[in-house]
Structures are given as structure tokens and as C-alpha cells.
Amino acid sequence: MIAPQAFRDPAVAKKILAAIANITTQPWTLMEVCGGQTHSIIKHGIDQLLPEQIRLIHGPGCPVCVTPLAYIDKALAIAAQPNIIFCSFGDMLRVPGSHQDLLGLKAQGADIRIVYSPLDAIKIAQQNPEREVVFFAVGFETTAPLTALTATQARKLNLKNFSLLACHVLVPPVMRALLNSPQNQVQGFLAAGHVCTIMGIGEYLPVAAQYHIPIVVTGFEPVDVLQGIYQCIAQLESGRFEVENAYSRVARNEGNPTAQQAMREVFVTTDRSWRGMGEIAQSGLTLSPDFDAWNAEKRFNVETIKTVEPKACRSGEVLQGLIKPAQCPEFGTSCTPEHPLGATMVSTEGACAAYYRYRRLNT
């Protein structure tokens, strides 16, 4: 077992940086699709240590940030109803909806509780049989298996006072959307290692082949990120476009078949709107008709809620790598972690939050 601190070893990082400099002969633009990687890059100044020809841009890798505005408003509509206990991960409480956030609604008296697992919400439902308990299930392929397990458990228990507001999203479709955009700047991807612990690398293979673009699966520590950058640049410089697993200590190429099966049993794919980015075909997971009894959208009749993104917030451009957070005129002024205009300033994985925390005084 390699000690965790080895992946923050400055001597190792310097060796990889030197290796990157030695193989870089022309400009390249890489995008990481992982909020954890974004924070590692900004916190440790990785983007500032690379050769000037290499530009890192930040993609839609923060699950809280890409949760569509309509689902925040659906959550608010459900949580505001009487006799509801609304359960959510903590980050979601401060994400702005059209008019307020869940934390503000909680301050007004709504029973909104932070949980660390959807299974905690199952326990709350069992302890409160006279009330409706709803869990707000968001995230990428990483968190979807636990939501699937929760739905299966609710059905097994015939838990009639429990439901899920499910809004999971998938990474490969958004990568395709970015590459299809006329504004696309991405020449290579750093893919999130934790997604691949579930899904493996197979779904990236057709993306790399179709778009002639290297995809390197990597972790979140500085040495992980630098190794991913090195392998991506090595491919670009040699004209290759393959999927490589640079996080094999955790992510197996085949992923987790048990988790994949659980997802297939509970979810179906659907078109999904991404916050600030618009609708992306077959990029979401929703509960299958077999689980309609535990589908909060259907139970509380909020399926038709539509919203319009606020014009002042440019988080959609940040999520697409078109601008850096500090290029938004609202950054650090009318948009701060205390008073965010968009989710990228709220989440611990958001790019705007990373820049505010680590680079605000440099802008």
C-alpha cells in the first residue's frame, strides 16, 4: 500500500513536471471533468507550474453545480409542502433556486435535514410513519448506485411514506456535448477516477475513437493530476487518442459490475438539462416506471416545473471551460460563497469556489 502522502510528494511532482516540459513542443488545451481535480489544480497551483504551452480549463465535473435549476425549484416546491421531511446532502441547501434556496426555506420553518447517505433518509421514514420523507438524489455515476440501493430497499420494505427526487447525470454524454460545440477548445480530457470506479473505462472508448481525443482517467492528488497531464500530453504529441487508466490503484478497467447492475435495475436514461448548459440527450438517469411509487416528481406533481437561468450568472460558461471564474464580472463582488449567484460558487467542488478560496487575492 502506497502512503497517501506519496501522492503529494514535491520531489515526485517536480520530476513529472520536468517530464511534461521535456515532451511538450506545441500548445495544448486539456479539460478536467472532476470538481475534486479542479480544486487540487487551483489549490496546489498546478496550472501555474506547467509549461506555458499547456492550458487547463475546467469542465462540468461538479455534480452540485450541474444539477438543473428546475430540480432545485422542484425540491423547494416539495419541501415547502406540509407534513414533509426533506432530506439532502449539505451542499445542495445553498444552491440558488429561482427565488430562494433550501437553507432559506429551512429558516422559514420547513423540515429540511442534512443526511450523509440516502439510507439515512430510509431510517427517518421508518421513524416517522405519519410523515412523507423525500431524499434529493443528485450526482454522477458515483452516487447513483447508492440511490439505486435505496430505491430497492424502499420497495423491499414497502415503505409507502418515502420517495426520491432523483436527478443523476452521466459523464460521457456531456463530454460529447462539449466536443460537438462550435466553441469547443478541448484537445484532451482528464477523466474522474471515482466515476470509473463504478463504470470502468469502456464508455470512454467510443468517445476517444470518434473525436480523436485522448482521455486519461486519473485521481485527485497533485501527483495523480500531474501524471494524468503527462500521459495526455504524451498522447497528443505522438498523435494517439486512447483511453488510459492512470488511477488503476483504485479504478479497475471494468469498473464495479455489481454497482452497474444495481443501476440498470432501477434507472432508465433520459434527456437531462444541465445547469447553465441546456439539455443534453440521454445524459440523465431517472427512476424506471417500476419505481413510480417512490418517484417524488410523480407523487408531488412537480414534473412540469420549468425555469429560466438568471442572466447575471455566467457559471454555464465556466462549466464549459469558455471562461475562468475570475473573468466573470460578478466574481467576488455580487457573487460570493455567502451570497452566490450560481452553484459553482456554492459547492465545495465548484470552480468558482476554488478560485475564490485560493486565487481571489490574485485577481
Domain with residue 120: its CATH number is 3.40.50.11740
User: What are the grid coordinates assigned to 110, written together?
Assistant: 420547513
Whether 261 is in a domain gets the answer: yes
- Which secondary structure element, helix H or strand E, spans residue 29, and what is its range? strand 28-32
| Residue among 4, 7, 63 at smallest CA distance from 33 | 63
Q: Which three cell numbers stand for residue 120?
A: 439515512
The Cα–Cα gap between 252 and 262 comes to 18
For residue 30, being part of any structural domain is answered with no
What residue has cell string 501522492? 7
In a domain, 117, yes or no: yes
Based on its alpha-carbon atoms, the radius of gyration of the chain, rounded to whole angstroms, reads 21
Q: Is residue 260 part of a domain?
A: yes
The parent domain of residue 276 ranges over 68-170+255-299
Residue 326 lies in a domain: no
pLDDT tens by residue, the chain, 363 residues: 455 677 889 999 999 999 999 999 999 999 999 999 999 999 999 999 999 999 999 999 998 999 999 999 999 999 999 999 999 999 899 999 998 999 999 999 999 999 999 999 999 999 999 999 999 999 999 999 999 999 999 999 999 999 999 999 999 999 999 999 999 999 999 999 999 999 999 999 999 999 999 999 999 999 999 999 999 999 999 999 999 999 999 999 999 999 999 999 999 999 999 988 889 999 999 999 999 999 999 999 998 887 877 778 899 999 999 999 999 999 999 999 988 888 899 888 899 999 999 987 665
What is the C-alpha separation between 286 and 195, in angstroms, rounded? 18
Residue 271 lies in a domain: yes
Q: What is the largest CA-CA distance in the chain?
A: 67
Q: Which residues pair with 29 in a beta bridge?
A: 55
Closest CA to 350 of 317, 325, 314, 313: 325
Q: C-alpha grid cell for residue 322?
A: 469558455
CA dihedral 273, 279, 285, 288 (to 10 degrees): 100
Q: Is residue 232 part of a domain?
A: no
Domains of the chain: total? 1
Q: pTM for this one? A: 0.93
Q: Report if residue 187 sits inside a domain.
A: no
